[in-house]
Chains A and B, each alone.
Chain A
Amino acid sequence: MRKVWDLIGGVHPPENKHQSVQLPIGVLPLPEKLVIPLNQHIGAPAKLLVATGDRVLKGQELAEPTGLVSVGVHAPTSGTISDISEYPIPHPSGMAARSITLIPDGQEQWVDHVGIDTTYSFQDYSPAKLLEMIRHAGIAGLGGAGFPSAVKLSPRKAITTLIINASECEPYITADDMLMRERAEAIVEGVQILSYILGGPEEVLIGIEDNKPEARAALEPFVRDTHIQLVSFPTRYPSGGEKQLIQILTGREVPSGGLPADIGIVCQNVGTAFAVQKAIYFGEPLISRITTVTGRACATNRNYEVLIGTPIAHLLAHNGFDEHDCSRLIMGGPMMGFTLTDPDIPVIKTTNCILAASREESPTPPPSQPCIRCGMCAEACPASLLPQQLFWYAQSHNHERLEAHNLFDCIECGACSYVCPSNIPLVQYYRASKGEIRKQAQEKIKSDRARARFEFQKARKEQEEMAKAAKREARKQAAEQAKAMTAERGNKPQGSEDIVKAAMARAAESQTSPAEQQARLERGIARAESHLHTVEKRLETIREEGSEQQQEQARAAVEDARRRLEDARRKRAQLDEATGSPDTDKVMARLQAGPRETLEKKIASCKERIAVTRQKIADSDDETLKAALTSGLEKQQAKLADAQQALAELPDNTPDTPVTRETTDAAANAIAQAQARAAATRDLPAEEKLRQTVVALEGRIEKARAKLDEARAGESEYVNALQAGLEKLQDKLLDAQQQLNAIATQPSAVDDDSGDAASSAIARAQARVAELASMSEEDKLRETVTSLKSRLEKARIKLREAEAERSEHVDSLRTAAEKLQVRLTEAEQQLAEYHP
C-alpha cells in the first residue's frame, strides 16, 4: 500500500453522489439542434471551416485550432449547419460567443475516421504523431478548466510522475465514477497512451477517493499487470484539485505561481484519458462526454453520454425537470459551479454536471454578517492562505496586500465560504479582486503603451520642430551670405563700375529711340519703293528700245532694288516686334523666362532663320552667294542642334525660377568682362590709347573705303554720304595721329584722364597752344600758311562738288574759298616779309 499524505485543510460536505449512480450511463435521443461554441477551451478560439448551409458528417472538423494553445471542434452528429452566430455559452457572465448551430439529420453518418492500425500497438507510433492526433481530435481537459491536452502533454521538462485524477471530490458529481465503472479497460488503455507520450514516467498513479470502491474495483483487473498504480485516499474536499492531489499522492508542493510540470508531474483527468483512447484507437474526435444530471428538481438523476452542443433544456426535459421546484440551475458542482441563466445553453467539453437544485437543497442563504475573526476559514483553506486577511484587503481594494498574501494561489474551492459562520461569500470577494487586479495589469500594459506612444509623438514633434528651425537658420545664413557677397562686389570696383555705368549711359544716349528708328526705316522703305519704281520704269523703256546688255543690266538693278525693299521691310517688322515692349522690359522678360523657355525661343528663331536661308538659297542663282548662304545655313543648323540638346538635357523638374543661375552667371560674366576691359583701358597710358584709336580709325577707314567702292560700283545714292563719312574719319585719323605725335614729343602734356571729348579737346588746344608758344614766329607763319592752304584746298574741292551738283550752297562756298584765298595771300605776304 502506497503512502498517501494528508490534504491540508479541506472540508467534508455531504456527498450526495448516490442519487446519480443508481442507473448506468444513458444515451439521450438526438436533440432538435446542437449549439457548438468555437471556444470551449482555454486559449485561442478555433478557426471556422464550415459555412451556413453546409451538410456535415459526424466527427467532421468544424473548426481547426489556430495556435499552439487551441483545439478544434467537431460535428457531434451528421446534419446541416443552420447558423453561425453569437449564442449564450456556459459562462458565469452569461455572455454570448460565436457558435455553430447544427440541425441533426438523424442519420448519424460518420465521417471517414481511422485510429492507429490495429495490427500495431500505439507504441509503434511516435509520441509527436500521437500528440498530433490528440490535438486534431479536439481534446481539452475534461476535468473542468479545459486546457488543451496536447499542450499539457508536451511539457518542457522531464516528467517523472503521471497522475490520473479520478478523485471527483465535489458533491453530487459522478461522471468520472460512472465512466470508470463502465469503461475501465478503455481508460487504462488511455492512461498507457498518455504515459507513452510523456516518455514513460517512473510512476503512473490513478488517484481515487475512497468513496468510489466500485470504480476502483472495475479498474483493478486492467492495471494489475501494468506499471499503473491505483491509489485510494480519504474523501475530503477539495482533494481533486490538481495541486492538492499532487500533495496527497506525492507529498510535494507545486511552487506558488508554478505548474506541476515544474516538479516533473503531469495531471490528467480520467475522462481525458478515455477521450485520448478513443482518438488514438478509433480516430474519434471529442464529440461527446459523460455528464451527470442530478438535483432534487429532476425526477431522474443519472449520467448520460451527451453530445457536445446539446442544449441543457433537452437534458432536463428527459429527466423530469420540475421548474417550480428548482431554486437554481447550476453547471458544475455546488462548490465551484455557477448558476445558469438560460436553460438553452449547450453542454460543452467541460460540462461535468448539471445540478437542478431544489429549494430545500439550495435555499436562499442568509445575509452575510461581519467577520468575527474565528479563523475557521484559515483552517479550511487547502492552499494555506489566510482568507480573513484576503477578505479584509479585498474589501478595501488593497491590491498590493492581496498579492502579498498570495491571492493568486487561491483555487476558489469555496471551502472557506462553506465553513464561514458569518456566511460571508469569501470566494466571490477573491474572484472579484482577482479580476480587478488582472484588469489593472492589462490597463497598466495599455497605459505603458500609451505613454510610450505619447512620448514618441512628443519626441517626433520636437525633432520635426528642430529640423524646421535648422532649415530656417540655414536659409537665413545663406541669405546673409548672399547679401554680404553682393555688398563686397559692389564695394570693391567702384571706379570701374562708374566707367561701366558711363558706358551704358553713352550707349543709351547714342541709341536713338524706337520711334526715331521706326521713322528712319519708314523713310528707307519709301525710298526703296520709289527707287524700285524708277528702276522698273527704266527697264520698260530699255526693253522697248535698248540693247540686250542694257536690258540685262536694268533687270539686275530691278532685282537689287526689290531685295533692298524687302530688307527694309523686314527690318521694320523686326523693329515693330521689338518696340512692342520697351527694351528694359524685353531684357527683363528674357531674364525672367526660365531656361526652358529661353531655349525654346532660341530653337524657334533658329528654325525660322534656317527656313529663310533655305528659301534664299533656292532663289539665288549666284554660285558664291549660294556657297556663303550654305555655310551660314550649316552654322544655323549646328546652333539649332546645340539648343535642342541643351533643352533635352535640361531636367524636367527644373523649376521655372524667375532668374536662373545661368542667366545670373552670364550677366555677372558680362559685367566682369566689361569691368576688365574698363580697367584695362584705364590702366593704359594715353599714348597707347591714342595708338589704339589710330588703329581702330584706320580699320574703320578701310571699311568705309570698301563700302564706298561697293556703293560706287552699285551706283548707289549713298555714295556721297559714304564719301563724307570717309572724309570725316580721315580727319579724325589725322587728328589722332597729330595727337600721337604730340604725345610722343611731350607725353606729360596729355592728361591721363582724357575720358570725355571736352577734356580731350581742351588738352589738344592746350597742347597746340604750348606747341605754338614754343615755335618761332616764322614757324608759326609757315604753319598757318600750310593749314590755310589745306583748308583752301578742301574748300575748293567742296566748291567744285557743289558746282557739279548745282547746289544752293555754291555761292557761300565760293565766298568762303575767296576769303580763305585772301587770308592765305596775307599769310604768304607776312611770311615773305618775315623773310627779309
Chain B
Amino acid sequence: MIELILQNPLIAALVALVGLALVFGAVLGFAAIKFRIEGDPIVQQIDKLLPQTQCGQCGYPGCRPYAQAIANGDAINKCPPGGQSTINALATLLGVEAPSLDAEHGEENDVKTVAYIREDECIGCTKCIQACPVDAILGAAKMMHTVIASECTGCDLCVEPCPVDCIDMIPVPQGLSDWTWDMPPPAEEQIKAQRHPAGIIATDRGDNAA
C-alpha cells in the first residue's frame, strides 16, 4: 500500500489532499457548532432604534410591530417621535437612502412632552389608563388619576379618550442635569450674524504684551 502510494505521485497527492480536506472539514464543522453566534434578528435591531413611545402614529400598534413591518419592507419614515435621527439610523442599518419624515404620519416635535392630568377635573373613568401603552397612569374607577411623569413616553394616546378633556401634553422642563451645549450655527449664518459662537478667546494669539 505505502509502496504503491510512494510510487504513484498522483495517488499520493490525492490521498494528501483528501486527508487535509477531511481534517479541515472536521475542524470547521466543530467550530461552526461550538462558536456559533446567535445573530441579532433584524427586527430586534430595528426595534432597538425606534423610540419606544408606542404611540402608533406609524399606523402599527406599537414600535415592535412597526419594526416587523420595516423588516418586511415597509417605509422607514413613518416615525414622528423618532424624527430624522431615527430615520438616519434606520437607513444606516438597512443600507438604504434616508428619506425625510413622511408628513402623513405627523411632524417631528423637538420638545419632549409628558401627559399631565388636571386632577381637579378628572372624573376617574379609567379610559386613559386603558389607553396608556406603558402603564404610566395611576388611578382606579371613580378615583383621581395621575401620570407617572418619568414613565410617560409622551405618546398622546391618553388625550383623546378623556371624556372631560382634562389631559394636557406639557413640555418637559429642561433641567441642569439634561442641559447640553448647542451645535454652533453653520458658517454662513455666522457670517450673516457677524459674530463668533464659540466660548474661547482666540484673539489672545499674538498679543504678547505680557
Contacts and interface: CB of A to CB of B under 8 A. Distances in A.
Q: Do A and B come from one complex?
A: yes
A825 interface: no
Interface string B185-210: 00100110011111111111101111
Interface in B57-79: 62-64
Contact of A447 (B51, B174, B183, B196): B51
A338 B199 CA distance: 6
Contacts of B181: 92, 428, 431-432, 434-435
A490 interface: no
Contacts of B196: 364-368, 423, 425
Interface stretch (A10-18, A285-293, A762-770, A777-785): A10-18
18 contacts: A328-B201, A335-B200, A337-B199, A365-B196, A366-B196, A367-B187, A368-B187, A368-B196, A397-B88, A414-B199, A425-B198, A427-B200, A439-B178, A442-B178, A443-B51, A446-B52, A453-B134, A458-B62
A428 B176 contact: no
Nearest to B196: A365
B203 A361 contact: yes
Contacts of B208: 14
B135 interface: yes
Which of B176, B200, B207 has the largest number of chain A CB atoms within 10 A? B200
B136 to A, nearest CB: 8
A92 B205 contact: no
A363 B197 CA distance: 12
B201 A451 contact: no
Given A451-B63, A454-B62, A454-B133, A16 B198 contact: no
B180 A339 contact: no
A370 B187 contact: yes
Contacts of B136: 453
A804 B208 CA distance: 167
A453 B151 contact: yes
A448 B52 contact: yes
B47 interface: yes
Interface in B83-97: 85, 88
B179 interface: yes
A365 B202 contact: yes
B54 interface: yes
B153 interface: yes
Interface in A417-439: 417-418, 423, 425, 427-429, 431-436, 438-439
Contact of A450 (B53, B178, B191): B53
Interface residues of B, number: 46
B184 interface: yes
A438 B52 contact: no
Interface of B: 47, 50-54, 62-64, 85, 88, 133-136, 151, 153, 174-176, 178-184, 187, 190-191, 194-205, 207-210
Given A423-B202, A427-B200, 10 more contacts: A14-B205, A14-B208, A91-B176, A92-B199, A334-B204, A357-B201, A367-B196, A431-B180, A434-B181, A458-B62
A432 B202 contact: no
Interface residues of A, number: 64
> Would you call the interface of chain A mostly helix, strand, loop, or mixed?
mixed
Contacts of B203: 361-363, 365
Contacts of A91: 176, 179
Contacts of A93: 176, 179
Interface string A378-414: 0000000000000000100100000000000000001
A14 B198 contact: no
Contacts of B52: 446-448, 450-451, 454
Nearest to B63: A451
B153 A428 contact: no
Contacts of B53: 447, 450
B93 to A, nearest CB: 11
A137 to B, nearest CB: 24
B152 to A, nearest CB: 9
A356 to B, nearest CB: 12
Contacts of A13: 204-205
A126 interface: no
B85 to A, nearest CB: 7
A574 interface: no
Contacts of B62: 454, 458
Contacts of B88: 397
B13 to A, nearest CB: 48
B194 A450 contact: no
B198 A427 contact: yes
